[in-house]
Amino acid sequence: MQISNSGDGLLKKSLKVACIQISSGPNKARNLAKAREKVLQAASERASLIVLPECFNSPYSTASFREYAEPLSHSIDPQKSPSFAALAKMASDTGTFIIGGSVPERDLSGNIYNTCAVYSPQGKLLASHRKMHLFDINVAGGISFCESDTLSAGNKITIVDLEGYGRIGLGICYDMRFAEPSTIASRQGAFALIYPSAFNTTTGPLHWELLGRARAVDNQVYTMLCSQSRDPASSYPAWGYSMVADPMGQIVAKTEEKEDIIYATLEPGVITKSRTAIPITCQRRHDVYPDIAKLVDLQ
């Protein structure tokens, strides 16, 4: 498990957030320029935390990941890592926390990961999350996708301390289907679970909102699901419908399938209120089943 810096848990003050719903195409420079334009727009609306969608710099296709992949490090070379450099600059130019959607990342051994990098308002790399559960599914008459054809899976739960606010738990798209990491992040004090995503039009109508609201209610935290927008001309038309749910599972911001930016203000009192009203946080039966948050090595 990665915990960057330390923090005492829940949301410490109001936080205006934005999810940028855009789609990516084959031109990396154009994808980066569009992301930057939207981040500047969200910052001008006074959002302090801005989320981009999964694979915002490349087509969402197993055939493309290697070609668009970049190395990730604390000292960025903009020639080798233009997407990560662009994210760092977006953060420092706007003074916001940037949850950098995801970018195909190449490690020193040549493995490729689907990676979300998080930057501080000073443009410093705070943490990175490699998609831990690869999107390998085959729904008859619907969608077949196999990320593991080209991607390797990450192997850690990512919790990030956002200085002055508290902690967030981070996952990428398919990761949200797995309750355990969200429970562990929440029990370690995250106030929000954030999922840069690119769901699809087969599973989207069935599971997208359900999962976003379920993870919020399970854990009594905010959830933020930031999708790619739907491009009907793409080989992978994404679902869209980016949303923010509150700790009671109510949707507080949402959009439809087109390009858009959604905003919400996360309030600390809301988490406490829901946990006081429905006290599941102190009603767990760890005399009957194990406390999974304690089974994970915090390092």
Ligand X SMILES: NC(=O)CC(=O)C(=O)O
Q: Which is nearer to ligand X, 16 or 177 (CB)?
A: 177
Tell which one of 51, 87, 88, 173 touches ligand X (CB under 6 A): 173
Of 174, 195, 222, 241, the one binding ligand X (CB under 6 A) is 174
Among residues 177, 268, 272, 296, the one that binds ligand X under rule CB under 6 A: 177
Report the residue number, 165 or 208, with the smaller CB distance to ligand X.
208
* 226 in active site: no
Beta strands in 200-287 (DSSP E): 222-227, 243-245, 251-254, 260-266
Among 199, 261, 264, 274, binds ligand X (CB under 6 A): 199
Q: Which is nearer to ligand X, 88 or 216 (CB)?
A: 216
How long, in residues, is the chain?
299
Residue span 23-62 as binding mask against ligand X, x where in contact by CB under 6 A, dash where not: ----------------------------------------
CB of 225 within 8 A of CB of 212? yes
Strand partners, 225: 195, 243
Taking CA 124 as the corner, what is the angle to CA 100 and CA 193, rounded to the nearest 5 degrees? 40
Q: Compute φ and ψ for 179, nearest 5 degrees.
A: -70, -30
- Residues 112-151 close enough to bind ligand X by CB under 6 A: 135
* Residue in the block written with tokens 């001309």: 233
Beta bridge partners of 105: 70, 113
Q: Which residues contact 269 (CB under 8 A, 6 or more apart)?
A: none
- Residue 243 interacts with ligand X (CB under 6 A): yes or no: no
Catalytic hit among 28, 34, 89, 131: 131
* 225/190 Cα distance (integer angstroms): 16
Can you tell me the distance from the alpha carbon of 265 to that of 1, in angstroms, rounded to the nearest whole number?
28
Distance of closest approach, residue 173 Cβ to ligand X, in angstroms: 3
By C-beta, is 91 or 198 nearer to ligand X? Answer: 198
Choice between 203 and 242, CB closer to ligand X: 203
Please give the residues from 87 up to 116 whose contact with ligand X meets the rule CB under 6 A: none
Residue from 22, 39, 184, 198 that binds ligand X (CB under 6 A)? Answer: 198
131: annotated active-site residue: yes
Q: Which helix (H) or strand (E) holds 215?
A: helix 209-219
> How many other C-beta atoms lie within 10 A of the C-beta of residue 246?
23
Specify the stretch interacting with ligand X by CB under 6 A; choose among 2-10, 11-19, 80-88, 169-177.
169-177
H-helix or E-strand spanning residue 3: strand 2-4
Nearest CA among 265, 259, 203 for reference residue 227: 259
Establish if 200 lies at the interface with ligand X (CB under 6 A).
yes
Residue 163 catalytic?
A: no
Interface positions with ligand X (CB under 6 A): 135, 173-174, 177, 198-200, 203
- Active-site residue list: 54, 131, 173
